[in-house]
Amino acid sequence: MLKTRFLTICASLVLSACATSPTGRTQFIYMPDNQVDQMGLQAFDSMKNKNPVSRNPRFNQFAQCVAYSITREVGGQWEVVVFEDETLNAFALPGNKIGIHTGLINLVDNQDQLAAVIGHEIGHVLSRHSNERLSQETAVSTGLAMVQAVTQPQTALGQTALGLLGIGAEYGIILPYSRIHESEADTIGLDLMARAGFDPRQSIDLWLKMDKASQGQPIEFLSTHPSHGSRIDNLNNHMNKALQLQQQAGQMGKQPRCTK
């Protein structure tokens, strides 16, 4: 009876936590978005307190020009901060926070390449990837405790329970999702930059530059991203649609002029 009730609870949890990403992918999300947003706000404030913020007016104007051109397409109030850090990185957090490292600004050739990165990072926020990841991790810690209290993980019933929660094996919901998230953010980011009037073809040039820069030194930004070849293939597969979106943006007068 207890085991049956446990499985019923697990199944109810999974069903109630089902959500759909902007690309139509089924997600496991059950944490309140406002709670995740608050975590993002706290993390961003901590970063600003611990890491030097760039006072370079040219860098800040360039970064804000590109970022705000894109955020206008999604709405809401966004904060953009340039950090004095020579690593090639940028990020966006729940709560509408965007951080860009000076190293990345130095790397890009133009506004379109920076837009490719910022669009990608905003894609993570729009897809609620942070919430999804936190929900998965919470399911792991909670689910394992529940399984251990009811039965042994190595039993058939234990494996069923773990399967319902999507945990228990390294091929479960945790590890594979990181690259799925990255590919999804690439697709969303490509559309976002195009809708804002940026040239989506520059996204491929940007990732080629990032790949070249990573030779001989690891780049944290690329550590969990798709392989170079699969990323380019994914972008090319969506390029025609993105070019159409850019054309429509131009017809609407959206022509960003952000100077590095």
Residues involved in catalysis: 121
Token pair listed for 117: 């990165």
Spatial separation of the C-alpha atoms in residues 78 and 99, rounded to whole Å: 11
CB neighbours (10 Å) of residue 117? 27
Spatial separation of the C-alpha atoms in residues 253 and 196, rounded to whole Å: 10
253: left (phi over 0), alpha (psi -120 to 50) or beta: left
Question: What's CA 149's distance to the chain center, in Å?
Answer: 35
97-101/90-93 β-pairing: antiparallel
Sequential DSSP letters for 180-196: HHHHHHHHHHHHHHHHT
Cα-only R_g, the chain:
20
Token pair listed for 2: 């207890």
